[in-house]
Structure 1
Amino acid sequence: MCETLKIALVQADLVWENPEQNRRNFTKKIDAIHEAVDLVVLPEMFSTGFTMNPKAVFETMQGETVLWMQELTHKKNIAITGSVVIKEECRFYNRLFFVTPNGGLEYYDKKHTFTLVGEDEIYTAGTKKPIIDFKGWKICPLICYDLRFPVWARNTEDYDVLIYVANWPTPRVTAWDTLLKARAIENMCYCIGVNRVGTDGVNSEYNGHSAAYDVLGNELTAFGSGEEQTEIVTLEKRHISAYRNKFKFLQDRDGFILK
């Protein structure tokens, strides 16, 4: 078990519907991380941008991007997470992968598909909320629009870290900032959000605001607005245990069952 976890948040522009170029770009960005880290977090649909045209760019579980993640994690001895357009059994998924250097691969299919742009009509929603055990840390990985739904993120599993990967547009970035901080406070966990920058193929603009928050809602990062940037944060188990033992807020939450 590791008492600390070092995470690199990679805020980047994405080349529209061009997985090969995006893989090359992210390889360079990861190669440029000279500090030893445990985990690299990439944005939502990091190989394509947030496209509603999956037929043009979909991959499979044995596709080039998954293979790229596996090769890079092995080469760099790091874990990588981020979401990709996947086709499986004639259905499309906005699927987050969590790939570890020992060959481990877990995934999460986005639960809350974004109805405002019709994601729900194109991509199949997930039904399971995985908790990933990595180096003794319990990590809950979610995707973009999931951030608006606190019940889905509710910390009933005693997880340590909540991660959101996103393509969250500039006009609603205040909600992104506010909700990331709220998820950290209400779940008494570290909360990390990695958003993209730039303009996509349907002229949606993104200004990043990637961030990491501690259990008390203190921001641990200082990302520039609209800039490609990588920041590294170190998470500490003792920070979580100290404040959970002191305040015990999670013990006072209301009980209910999701249907």
Structure 2
Amino acid sequence: MAQEKGNLKIALIQSALHWENPSANRKMFSAKIEQIVEDVDLIVLPEMFSTGFTMSPENIKNEEGSITLSWMMDMAANINSAVVGSIVFNEDDTHYNRLFFVEPNGKYVTYDKRHTFTLAGEHEKYTAGNKRLIVNYKGFAICPLICYDLRFPIWSRNTEDFDILLYAANWPTPRINAWDALLKARAIENMAYCIGVNRVGADGLGHNYPGHSSLYDPLGELISLSKKEEVLIVDVVKNEIDLIRNKLPFLNDRDRFSLLD
């Protein structure tokens, strides 16, 4: 298992995806995960990593969600690392863009994308979630969100003193400047590490994705960024969060509020 206490070693898998083909994507990501030579604590996959950002969930067999969840559990156990990413998931004949955070012991928790992407009609195909998720893992509080959630700072606000804000995404080339700027902004305003994992290549609808998977520190400094298909290994250091927040206790002055539907 990974390194010294207080560090989290994370593998960000930035990849092209096989369009609406879960079995091909599982096979591809299995190979990528098996090639990771370092001991990592967490593996992060893009949004809808088993299908691509499809607005035709009816093209995906209902059982594929459960099959992919079982695959995530197998991967987590085999490599002794948590695995996180979102998939098309059908439950009671309702489709969700659902993120799973799966630990090596088989335990998992879920988050349903709050802000469905209306520009693509996602709100017409997938049911939005209404609850945020905070995962406590290896001494770090992690808030995992999905793609379009990045544009909404209130939903991302650090009201629980989380350490890491994590976005799994399919963010296209024409708006990549917004991706870079918003990831940095979310890190600064929340005084937390901010991680974004995007895909590369073209999808089945002709949309292109440039990567830019990245890690920003709690002051918004860019630590790592990738523009190619690769597994990017990054480190998050708990002591750095504590040092920054003790020196600059800006979170003490944050607005207090409750979200209402």
The corresponding residue for 2:258 is 257
Moved over 6 A (4+): none
5 Å-filtered alignment, 1:186-197, equals 186-197=189-200
SS at match of 1:202: coil
SS at match of 1:220: strand
Distance of 2:215 and 2:62 partners within structure 1:
30
The corresponding residue for 2:66 is 63
5 Å-filtered alignment, 1:125-136, equals 125-136=128-139
The corresponding residue for 1:54 is 57
Alpha-carbon distance, 1:189 to partner = 0.4
CA deviation vs aligned residue, 1:121-161 (integer Å, no higher than 9, x gap): 11000011010011111100000000000000100001000
The corresponding residue for 2:164 is 161
Alpha-carbon distance, 1:219 to partner = 1.2
Alpha-carbon distance, 1:60 to partner = 4.7
Assess, with a 3 A threshold, how the Cα gap between structure 1 residues 59 and 38 changes in structure 2: closer, same or farther.
farther
Distance of 2:61 and 2:216 partners within structure 1:
33
1:202 paired residue among 200, 205, 215: 205
Contact conserved, 2:116 with 2:126, CA < 8 A, in 1? yes
Unaligned runs of 5+ in 2: none
Alpha-carbon distance, 1:222 to partner = 3.2
The corresponding residue for 2:77 is 74
Distance of 1:96 and 1:220 partners within structure 2:
25
Unaligned runs of 5+ in 1: none
The corresponding residue for 2:88 is 85
Contact conserved, 2:22 with 2:64, CA < 8 A, in 1? no
Distance of 2:71 and 2:217 partners within structure 1:
31
SS at match of 1:82: strand
- What TM-score does the superposition give when structure 1 sets the normalisation length? 0.97
- What TM-score does the superposition give when structure 2 sets the normalisation length? 0.96
**Amino acid across the alignment from 2:230:** Q
5 Å-filtered alignment, 1:1-259, equals 2-60=5-63, 63-224=66-227, 227-259=228-260
Assess, with a 3 A threshold, how the Cα gap between structure 1 residues 201 and 25 changes in structure 2: closer, same or farther.
same
Contact conserved, 1:58 with 1:86, CA < 8 A, in 2? no
SS at match of 1:97: strand
SS at match of 2:186: helix
Alpha-carbon distance, 1:257 to partner = 2.5
SS at match of 1:222: strand
Contact conserved, 1:190 with 1:235, CA < 8 A, in 2? yes
Aligned length: 257
Assess, with a 3 A threshold, how the Cα gap between structure 1 residues 84 and 237 changes in structure 2: closer, same or farther.
same
**Amino acid across the alignment from 1:246:** K
**Amino acid across the alignment from 2:93:** C
Q: Tell me the C-alpha RMSD between the 2 structures.
A: 1.3
Distance of 2:258 and 2:143 partners within structure 1:
19
**Amino acid across the alignment from 1:52:** M
**Amino acid across the alignment from 2:151:** R
Alpha-carbon distance, 1:220 to partner = 1.4
Alpha-carbon distance, 1:256 to partner = 2.6
Distance of 1:87 and 1:62 partners within structure 2:
7
**Amino acid across the alignment from 1:159:** F
